[in-house]
Structure 1
């Protein structure tokens, strides 16, 4: 991690994080409907089940990609984090999300402090 303060970098990381969590939300909705559709009847509509499964997998893939983009923008090892996310899905996503969110807050705090110090001089 570098210590240079770039508020634009914080916004880029935050944008990728938001996109990752929206993709995770979309895949969660697909999982919810997939489970409820299979529980509602013995003979679920195959086309509907297939589309929900495709939506679930596409949402998870998008989540992995956006988290990798956020990790790369934060100057972390994106490959390692994606491998960990695939192996330990819910836990690694939460840990990486918290780490990146805290890093964004630190970058924004440093930018505010430098902005305040620059206007005081």
Structure 2
């Protein structure tokens, strides 16, 4: 996990939200923002494809189980931003906000193994 921001979210034209993650640029469409915030659906994270006007799905965006954060999933990497901050950017109340990497969900078996250094079974 990086101690610095992994990227930032920008208010875009026509109701879009742009995400800049490590030199890559993604977007969430306005109709998908409604489904995310008000229905709680998983929505696609879009990225420009090889052709200029073609977008392809590059990840998913969804609410955390508590509903207080938005999770951005690209392959195995996860990022998180507070729901209120993303909503403020989407509505144009804030120009941008930062988000951060989430720690990996898989724990290292060596750390939790009960059979290390004298532990009895």
TM range (shorter): under 0.3
More strand by share: 2
Instruction: Determine which structure has greater relative contact order: mean sequence separation of CA pairs < 8 Å that are 6+ residues apart, divided by chain length.
Output: 1
Of structures 1 and 2, the larger Rg is shown by 1
More helix by share: 1
